[in-house]
Chain A
Amino acid sequence: MYGWIWRHLPGNAWVKALVSLVLVLAVVYVLFQYVFPWAEPLLPFNDVTVDNQ
């Protein structure tokens, strides 16, 4: 999977490394901004009240 991505990135090794870094940061951003806030309420840490069960 990662090998396939690496082979399909344009430019020489330096450009590839830079592009992959940007890609990784983009994925982390999407995770923290959208995916994790959606997944976090599935964990029990939000249940602090006595009436919502």
Chain B
Amino acid sequence: MRVIVRSVSELCITLGTLIVLFVVYVLFWTGVRADGAMSDQIDRLHRQWSRGSVGQAGAAGGRPAAAAEPEPYRAGRAFAIMYIPRLGATWNKPVLEGTGRDVLAKGLAHYRGTARLGGRGNFAVAGHRRTYGDPFKDFPRLRRGDAVVLTDGTAWFTYRIDKGPYKTVPTDVEVIDPVPRTSGYTRPGRYLTLTTCDPEWGHSHRLIVWAHLDSTQPVEAGEPKALRR
């Protein structure tokens, strides 16, 4: 009898410890790993850009007046850095190609098949709301007029948010269409869509914001106004 009671209580304690450890892993350790991975990606981008090999067919690559077809983004590789001043003056995250789980653990994820950065159509990006560094934790604070600034090493792209955060269901894939449904855009243009999950710790819905390309400038011209303080 005593053996049974002891075994059961030991089992309960073990299970409890296991759950606590798992919570620590999800809330804390994924963040530590993701922060490391994201700064690695950003360092790698800076190194790549400073070597001059941008891998995107020159400065005209993502610009409105692009003539030659630029090199496609490589799956799982970072190709841009995103800055959103509303989420914090030091908030900057790498953007990687593809939306796989391994990609989302290293930064923001660009939907494959959507437009290129600064290109015609819809440049759609997903990010974690919670865990893995909480990149989009403050997503609901985004407002109309907020700047979303990206650089691919050759140019700065400043997008301005027009609508959002808009709550929808996970199957609503039209939100990342070239002219997103319910976004209010009626004509083709250069748009940006950000998606994350909602509620904060759930997955029943998605939060969306839409932005349009407001201005573009070469990196030689320095940081865009939206980033200057």
A interface residues, Cβ below 8 angstroms from B: 1-3, 28, 31-32, 36, 39-41, 43-53
- Decide: B170 and A47 in contact? CB cutoff 8 A: yes
Task: Report the Cα distance A47→B197, complex, angstroms.
Answer: 6
- Decide: A48 and B10 in contact? CB cutoff 8 A: no
Task: Please encode chain B, from 188 to 220, with 1 for each CB lying within 8 Å of some chain A CB and 0 for all others.
Answer: 000000011100011100101000000000000
**Is B131's beta carbon under 8 Å from chain A?**
yes
Nearest Cβ on chain A to B118's Cβ, whole angstroms = 22
Contacts of B175 in A (CB 8 A): 50
Q: Give 18 A-B pairs besides A31-B22, A36-B29, A45-B132 with Cβ atoms closer than 8 angstroms.
A: A31-B21, A36-B25, A40-B30, A41-B101, A43-B26, A45-B130, A45-B197, A46-B104, A48-B195, A48-B206, A49-B126, A49-B195, A50-B126, A50-B168, A50-B171, A50-B176, A52-B99, A52-B170
Q: For chain B, residues 60 to 85, give those with C-beta under 8 angstroms from any C-beta of chain A.
A: none
Task: Report the Cα distance A3→B3, complex, angstroms.
Answer: 11
Q: A43-B26, A44-B197 are in contact. Are A49 and B111 (CB under 8 A)?
A: yes
Contacts of A43 in B (CB 8 A): 26
Contacts of A52 in B (CB 8 A): 99, 170
Task: Report the Cα distance A46→B201, complex, angstroms.
Answer: 10
**Is B148's beta carbon under 8 Å from chain A?**
no
- Decide: B128 and A48 in contact? CB cutoff 8 A: yes
- Decide: B201 and A45 in contact? CB cutoff 8 A: yes
Task: Report the Cα distance A50→B109, complex, angstroms.
Answer: 12
- Decide: A45 and B128 in contact? CB cutoff 8 A: yes
Contact of A51 among B7, B18, B111, B127 (CB under 8 A): B111
Which B-chain residue is minimally distant from A39 (CB atoms)?
Answer: B22
Contact of A45 among B6, B109, B131, B170 (CB under 8 A): B131
Q: 7 closest pairs, A vs B, by CB?
A: A44-B203, A47-B203, A36-B25, A45-B131, A49-B126, A53-B170, A48-B197
**Is B1's beta carbon under 8 Å from chain A?**
no
Q: List 20 A-B contacts (CB under 8 A).
A: A3-B6, A31-B18, A31-B21, A32-B29, A36-B29, A40-B25, A41-B101, A43-B26, A44-B202, A44-B203, A45-B130, A46-B104, A48-B104, A48-B136, A49-B109, A49-B206, A50-B171, A50-B195, A50-B208, A52-B99
